[in-house]
Structure 1
Amino acid sequence: MADCSNILTETPRTREELFHTLGEFARRGIDYLVVDGGDGTVRDVLSCGAEVFGDDWPSLIVLPKGKTNALTVDLGLPNHWSLAEALAAAHEGYTVTRRPLRITSLENPGEGRCIQGFILGTGAFSIATEAGQEAHRRGAFNSFAVGLTVLWGILQTLFGRSGNPWRKCTPTRIVDRHTGRSLPHPGPGRADERFLTVATTFEKFPLGARPFGRNPAPGLKMAVIDWPVRWVIALLPAVLFGLYGRFLTRKGAQRFYASELELDIGGPFILDGEAFPAGRYVLDEGPQLTFVVP
C-alpha cells in the first residue's frame, strides 16, 4: 500500500452522484470496485451500477462497516478487514462468485431499471426490519441484532392476539414465470395472503442458521409461511436451523428454489434493510459477481 496513486476514492452523497461515480470508474477501466459499508451500501452500488456495468462487473471488495453485514457472513469475511488485506487476498486470487437478487417493476416496464440486493422480505419481515432498526439504536449490531429481532418477532407472533401487527398477513401472489403456475397455498388463511416471504441467493447465514438446509445450492431460494399457525411459529427457531418436513408444508411453511418469479405484493417489501413500495415485480437472479475473500 506504499503507492496509492492507482487508487481512486469517491464518497457520493446521493444515488445520482453514485451513478455518475460508477460511470466514471467504468470509463477508467477499474479492476476492483471497493465498497466501504454494509448491506445497504452494497445494495445501492449494485442497483446504481446495473446500468453502468450490465453483466460485466469488476471484482468487488467489501469492507464491512455497516450496522448489518449479512453479506459478509455469506462471503466469510472478518468483521475488521482492511483494504491492504483485501488487496493482498485479491493478488493471491482468493475469490468467490455470487448472483444478487434482481427486482424489476412490471408497472413501469419502460424505465427498465432494477434494484439488486441479497435478501428480500415481505409481510412480517417488514416489521422485523423495523424492530432490527430499533435494536441498532440500542446498540445491537450484526448477528446479535438479528438474533434479538428473531426472538422478539417469535414472542410477539406466538402470544399476540389477532390485532397484533406481528400476526398480520399481506396480500401476496407468487407465480413461476416459466410454468405460469401460482405457488400453492396449503396453509390456513386467505389464499391471496401470506404471513412471511423471504428470498435470497445466500449460501451461509448469520448465527449459523440453515433455513434452506445444509449446504444449500447457489441461486434464488424462497421461504414462505402462509399463516402464523402458533405451533409452526414455536418451531421457527428449529426451522431456521434446518428442520423441515411435510408436516410443515401442510400448514403452509414452504421452501423452494426458482429461477424467475412474478410477485404481486400488497404491501411494502424490504431489500437489504430498505423499504420499497407495493406493486408487481419480476424477481430473478442478477449478473454473476466476483467477490474477493480472505
Structure 2
Amino acid sequence: MATPIYEFAQIPRVDAASRARARVRRMRDAGQAPTVGVIYNPRSHRNLGADFDCGICPHVHIAQPRERGQLPLALAEFAEKGIDLLVINGGDGTVRDVLTCGQAVFGEEWPAIAVLPKGKTNALTVDLGVPDDWTLQDAIDALDHGSRIYRRPMNVSALGTDAKPGAVSRVAGFILGAGAFTKATQAGQSAHKLGAFNSMVVAVTGIWALLQSLFATRGNAWRKGARMRIGLGAADAPMVHSGHGDPAMRQLLFASTLERLPAGIKPFGALRSGLKLVAIDQISRRTTALIPLMLLGKIKGPLRQRGIHQLAATQFSLSIDDQFILDGEAFPAGDYRIEQGPELAFVAP
C-alpha cells in the first residue's frame, strides 16, 4: 500500500455533508472473545510477505488490501461486523493510510485501535510504548487488560480550488515535515538500505543533517530550506520571522501530535500535548550547533530570537513551493490546512 509519491488526487474525497457509516455496536458478555479486524500489510518491512496466523481466535477477521483503493471496503466490512478492536499490522505509512480511509467509515466513532510495529519506521508505537515484538495475541489481551492512550492525528486538507462544494481531499497522519526534513527523509531511505531503522534512522539522518547544515553554504539545500508561508490558528495569523536569512524561507518545519518521539528527541521543548510545531529560519552556524542540545531538551531559554520557533496551535495553514513529508511519504507543493482529527483510543501494554 505504498508508492514513492502519494499525490492528494489519489486520496478519497470526504463529503462533509455525508455521515460516516454507523458502526454496529454490541455489548460483550463477560469472558466473551472480542471481534477483531486486522489490516495486514504484507509489504511492511518486518512482515516480508509472511502469512498471518488466522487461527488465533475465531472472531479475528483479516484483510490484506493490495492497494489503497481497497482499504475503504475492508474497513466498511469491519464496521458492519461491529469490531471491538482494529489492529493495524504495518508501519507508519500503513497507519496513515488506514486512518485516512477510515474517516469516511468511522467518522468520530472509531473502535479501539492497536498497532503492531512492522514497518521501517514506527514512530506511533514508540509514543504508545508498544514493544517491537508485540503480537496480535498481545494486542487482543491488552484490549481488556492493557492501557488506553488517546491521541488525535493531524488532518491535512488540500485547499485547491478544484474540490466540489462540501468535499475535501484529506489525509491523516502523525508526523509532518518540510524543508530540510524532506532532505532528511530522502537520506533516511539510504539509511534503510544500510540496515538502519526506527530510532537508528533518526540518529543517522540527524547527524548527517547537522553536518550538512554546519559546513554547507546557505545556498545548500539543507540550509536553504523551502519557501513557505505558515498561518496560525483560525485567524491564519502569519508566523513571525526572526530576521535570520530570507524571511520567505524556512530551513525546516516539523509538526506532530505525538508526545514521545524516536530516539528521545524533544523538538518542541516543554510542549507535549496537542498539535505542536517547530519552524526554523535560515539560522546561523552557531545556532545550528545548538540543535542537538535543543533536541535533548537541554536548552530552556527562548529560542525565537535565534530563529527557532516552538509553539502549539489549534490549527495552521501551510503554503509551500516544495514537497513536504507526512509519515514517510512525499506530498506535492500547494496550499494546505493542518488541524487535529478525532480523538482515537489506542490499546497499549
In 2, distance between residues paired with 1:198 and 1:142?
A: 17
The answer to whether residue 334 in structure 2 is matched with residue 270 in structure 1 is no
The answer to whether residue 260 in structure 2 is matched with residue 204 in structure 1 is yes
Deviation at 1:192, TM superposition (A): 1.7
- Give the structure, 1 or 2, with the largest relative contact order (CA under 8 Å, sep 6 or more): 1
Match of 1:223 among 257, 278, 290: 278
Match of 2:131 in 1: 78
RMSD over aligned Cα, in angstroms?
Answer: 1.5
- Quick check: 91-100 or 138-147, which moved more? 91-100
Where in structure 2 are the equivalents of 1:92-111 lying within 5 Å? 92-107=145-160, 108-110=162-164, 111=167
Q: What 5-or-longer segments of structure 1 have no aligned partner?
A: none
Q: Identity of aligned pairs, percent?
A: 47
Match of 1:234 in 2: 289
> Which letter does structure 1 place at the counterpart of 2:249?
E
Match of 1:7 among 55, 60, 65: 60
Match of 1:170 in 2: 226
Instruction: Report SS of the residue matched to 1:62.
Output: strand
Deviation at 1:92, TM superposition (A): 1.3
In 2, distance between residues paired with 1:180 and 1:14?
A: 36
In 2, distance between residues paired with 1:188 and 1:87?
A: 52
Contact 1:124/1:195 (8 A) holds in 2: yes
Contact 1:167/1:195 (8 A) holds in 2: yes
Q: What is the TM-score when the length of structure 1 is the normalising length?
A: 0.95
Contact 1:187/1:253 (8 A) holds in 2: no
Q: What 5-or-longer segments of structure 2 have no aligned partner?
A: 1-32, 34-54
> Which letter does structure 2 place at the counterpart of 1:143?
S
Instruction: Report SS of the residue matched to 1:88.
Output: helix
Instruction: Report SS of the residue matched to 2:124.
Output: helix
Contact 1:60/1:290 (8 A) holds in 2: yes
> Which letter does structure 2 place at the counterpart of 1:254?
H
Match of 2:175 in 1: 119
Contact 2:89/2:115 (8 A) holds in 1: yes
In 2, distance between residues paired with 1:43 and 1:190?
A: 33
Match of 2:104 among 43, 51, 54: 51
Match of 2:81 in 1: 28
Deviation at 1:93, TM superposition (A): 4.8
Instruction: Report SS of the residue matched to 2:316.
Output: strand
Match of 2:216 in 1: 160
> Which letter does structure 1 place at the counterpart of 2:193?
R
Show structure 1 runs of 4+ deviating over 4 A: none
> Which letter does structure 2 place at the counterpart of 1:38?
G
Contact 1:120/1:270 (8 A) holds in 2: yes
- Quick check: 18-27 or 127-136, which moved more? 18-27
Match of 1:151 among 193, 204, 207: 207
Deviation at 1:244, TM superposition (A): 4.2
The structure with the largest alpha-carbon Rg is 2
Match of 1:251 in 2: 306
